[in-house]
C-alpha cells in the first residue's frame, strides 16, 4: 500500500493509543496485589490456582507486546503505525502428569495485527522498525512440540511444529528494531529459516558435552505455504502439511562460560538448505538473465553461517552491570537478496539504582547483495522506461531505548531509531523514528 505524499499533522494517534493502554494497565485493579508487587505476572496467582496447577505439572503463559512507531523523517509521509502480538502458551510436565520421565509438551498460539511503518511510509528499509510485525497478521500455531531428555538431561530431543530460530542462533528480543531482535538468519534469509510466529514441522537434537558446552543439529521442513500466504491466513492453526520442497539443516556449537563470575553465551553455527533457490544474476544457460529474459538458474542448495556472542563485562552476575553482544550472519550470495548482517550493542542493567530497569543501545549493518544490484543495472540499461531501484550497499540501523518496569510483569520502552540508507541505497532518505514498545506478562 503506497502512503500519501502529504504529511499528517497533530500528535501521533498511535502514541496516544499506546499511552492510553499503558495508563489502563497501571491503574487496573489486580486482586490480592499492590501496584508495587514485583510478581512475575500482572494477574498474580489466580487465587492460588496457578501455583496449584504448576505443582501438578501445568503452567500457563499469557503475553502482550505492542509497538508504536512514528517517523519524523524518511519515506514519503510522516506517519504513525501500531502493531501488536498476543501470545498464549501452556507447558505440560509429563513426568508429573503421567510419570513420563524427562518429557514435557509445549504449545504456543499467537495473534498478530497492525500496520507496518516501513511499508506504509515508503521508507524502503530492509529491517522493520516494529519487530513484532510480520509473518502474517493472523492467528498462528507458533509451537506444538514434545521435548524429551535422556541421560540425566545430557541429550535433549525436540520434535513437532517449531520455529527454527527458537533453538538456533537464538537471541533475545528487547529492542524494537528487527536488526537487534531474534534469530538473525531468519531476519535476512526468509523462506528457509523460519522465526516465530511461524512454525514448520521439524526436530532438534542437542548434546551437552560438559556443563557449559553443547552441540546441536536440526532438521526443519522448507515450505513457503506456512508463510504469509492465503493458505496460512485461512487457518494459521492448521496441523496440515501443505508440502515440503526441501529441508533446512542447521548445526550449532555453544559455550556458556562464567567469566570472572559473570555469564556469557558464545555460539557458532552453519546451515544448509536442500530446497535451493533462484540465482540472482544468471539464467539457465549461465548468461545474464537481465539481457536474455530467460528463467533464472536454479541453485540446488543454499548455505550460510553465523556467530552470536554475548557477555556481561561489569557488575554482579545477572544483576547490575553492562552486557555486550555481537551477532553476525553470512547468507548464500547466489540466492539471497540480503546476504550479510552484523549487529552489536550493549545493555546497562539497573541504572539509577532501579532493579528492574535497563538501557539498550544497538548499531547494525545489513548488506544488499551486489549480485542483485548487478542484475538491476543491466535490466535498467535495457529498459530505460522501466527503471528499478539499485540496492547495492549497507543499510545502517541504530536504536537506543530505556526500559522502565513499574513492576516485574510490565516493561515500557520508549526508543529512538535512526536508519541510514534504508534498503542499502542513498536514493532513499534517512529515517528518524520514535517508538514505544510495551510488554505485559499476564
Q: Please give the C-alpha separations between residue 372 and each of 105, 168, 397, in angstroms, as whole numbers.
A: 43, 27, 21
Q: Domain 14-441: what homologous superfamily?
A: Carbohydrate-selective porin OprB (2.40.160.180)
- Dump the DSSP string for 27-62: HS--TT--TT---SSTTTTGGGHHHHHHHHTEEEEE
Question: What 3-state DSSP class applies to 98?
Answer: helix
Q: Express each pLDDT in 214-238 by its tens digit.
A: 999 999 999 887 777 777 777 777 7
Q: Express each pLDDT in 253-276 by its tens digit.
A: 999 999 999 999 999 999 999 999
Residue whose C-alpha is closest to residue 66's, from 442, 436, 441, 339: 436
Residue whose C-alpha is closest to residue 140's, from 109, 163, 175, 106: 109
| End-to-end CA, the chain | 34
Where residue 39 falls among pLDDT bands split at 50, 70, 90?
confident
Q: Look at residue 47 and tell me whether its pLDDT is greater than 80.
A: yes
Domains of the chain: which residue ranges?
14-441
Question: What 3-state DSSP class applies to 19?
Answer: helix
Strand partners, 204: 158, 218
C-alpha triplet 170, 174, 177: angle, nearest 5°: 90
The pTM score is 0.89
Can you tell me the distance from the alpha carbon of 82 to that of 69, in angstroms, rounded to the nearest whole number?
6
Q: Please give the C-alpha separations between residue 297 and each of 145, 289, 300, in angstroms, as whole numbers.
A: 37, 9, 10
Strands of 27-154, DSSP E = 58-73, 80-93, 103-114, 139-150
Where residue 191 falls among pLDDT bands split at 50, 70, 90?
confident
Where residue 80 falls among pLDDT bands split at 50, 70, 90?
very high
Q: Please give the C-alpha separations between residue 208 and each of 68, 115, 162, in angstroms, as whole numbers.
A: 40, 42, 21
Q: How big is the chain, counted in residues?
A: 442
Can you tell me the distance from the alpha carbon of 120 to that of 43, in angstroms, rounded to the nearest whole number?
36
pLDDT of 356: 94
**Alpha-carbon torsion, ordered 219, 225, 229, 234, to 10 deg:** -100
Question: What 3-state DSSP class applies to 363?
Answer: strand
Where residue 11 falls among pLDDT bands split at 50, 70, 90?
very low
Strand partners, 47: none
**Which residues 6+ apart lie within 8 Å of 121 measured at CB?**
3, 71, 74, 75, 76, 77, 78, 79, 81, 431
Q: Look at residue 64 and tell me whether its pLDDT is greater than 60.
A: yes
User: How many helices (H) and strands (E) are present in the chain, helices listed first?
Assistant: 8, 19
pLDDT of 33: 43
Q: Express each pLDDT in 332-391 by its tens digit.
A: 999 999 999 999 999 999 999 899 999 999 999 999 999 999 999 999 999 988 888 889
pLDDT of 18: 52
Where residue 40 falls among pLDDT bands split at 50, 70, 90?
confident
Where residue 138 falls among pLDDT bands split at 50, 70, 90?
confident
Amino acid at each position: 500500500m503506497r502512503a500519501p505524499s502529504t504529511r499528517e499533522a497533530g500528535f501521533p494517534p498511535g502514541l496516544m493509543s499506546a499511552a492510553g493502554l499503558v495508563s489502563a494497565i497501571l491503574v487496573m485493579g489486580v486482586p490480592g496485589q499492590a501496584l508495587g508487587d514485583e510478581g512475575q505476572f500482572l494477574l498474580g496467582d489466580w487465587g492460588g490456582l496457578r501455583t496449584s496447577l504448576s505443582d501438578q505439572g501445568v503452567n500457563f503463559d499469557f503475553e502482550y507486546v505492542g509497538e508504536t512507531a512514528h517517523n519524523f523523517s524518511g519515506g514519503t509521509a510522516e506517519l504513525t503505525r501500531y502493531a501488536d502480538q498476543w501470545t498464549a502458551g501452556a507447558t505440560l510436565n509429563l513426568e508429573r502428569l503421567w510419570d513420563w520421565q524427562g518429557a514435557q509438551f509445549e504449545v504456543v498460539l499467537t495473534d498478530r495485527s497492525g500496520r507496518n511503518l516501513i511499508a506504509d511510509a515508503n521508507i524502503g528499509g530492509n529491517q522493520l522498525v516494529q519487530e513484532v510485525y510480520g509473518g502474517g497478521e493472523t492467528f498462528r500455531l507458533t509451537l506444538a512440540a514434545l521435548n524429551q531428555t535422556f541421560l540425566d538431561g545430557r541429550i535433549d530431543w525436540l520434535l513437532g511444529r517449531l520455529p527454527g530460530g527458537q533453538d538456533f542462533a537464538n537471541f533475545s528480543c528487547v529492542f524494537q528494531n528487527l536488526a537487534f531482535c531474534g534469530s538473525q538468519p531468519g531476519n535476512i534469509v526468509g523462506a528457509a529459516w523460519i522465526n516465530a510466529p511461524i512454525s514448520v514441522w521439524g526436530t532438534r537434537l542437542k548434546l551437552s558435552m560438559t556443563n557449559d558446552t553443547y552441540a546441536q543439529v536440526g532438521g526443519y521442513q522448507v515450505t513457503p505455504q506456512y508463510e504469509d500466504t492465503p493458505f496460512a491466513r485461512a487457518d494459521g492453526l492448521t496441523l496440515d502439511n501443505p508440502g515440503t520442497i526441501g529441508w533446512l539443516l542447521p548445526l550449532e556449537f555453544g559455550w556458556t562460560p562464567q567469566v570472572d563470575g559473570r555469564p556469557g553465551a558464545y555460539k557458532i553455527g552453519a546451515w544448509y538448505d536442500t530446497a535451493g533457490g533462484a540465482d540472482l544474476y544468471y539464467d539457465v544457460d549461465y548468461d545474464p538473465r537481465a539481457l536474455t529474459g530467460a528463467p533464472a538458474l536454479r541453485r540446488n542448495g543454499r548455505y550460510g553461517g553465523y556467530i552470536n556472542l554475548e557477555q556481561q563485562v561489569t557488575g554482579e552476575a545477572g544483576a547490575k552491570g553492562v552486557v555486550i553482544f555481537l551477532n553476525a550472519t553470512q547468507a548464500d550470495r547466489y540466492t539471497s537478496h540480503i546476504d550479510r548482517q552484523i549487529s552489536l550493542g550493549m545493555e546497562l542493567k539497573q541504572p539509577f539504582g532501579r532493579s528492574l530497569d535497563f538501557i539498550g543501545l544497538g548499531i547494525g549493518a545489513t548488506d544488499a547483495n551486489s549480485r542483485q544490484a548487478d542484475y538491476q543495472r543491466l535490466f535498467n540499461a535495457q529498459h530505460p522506461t522501466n527503471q528499478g531501484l539499485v540496492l547495492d550497499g549497507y543499510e545502517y540501523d541504530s536504536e537506543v531505548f530505556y526500559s522502565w518496569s513499574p513492576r516485574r510483569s510490565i516493561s515500557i520502552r520508549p526508543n529512538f531509531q535512526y536508519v541510514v540508507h534504508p534498503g542499502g541505497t542513498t536514493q532513499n532518505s534517512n529515517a528518524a523514528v520514535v517508538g514505544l514498545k510495551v510488554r505485559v506478562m499476564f
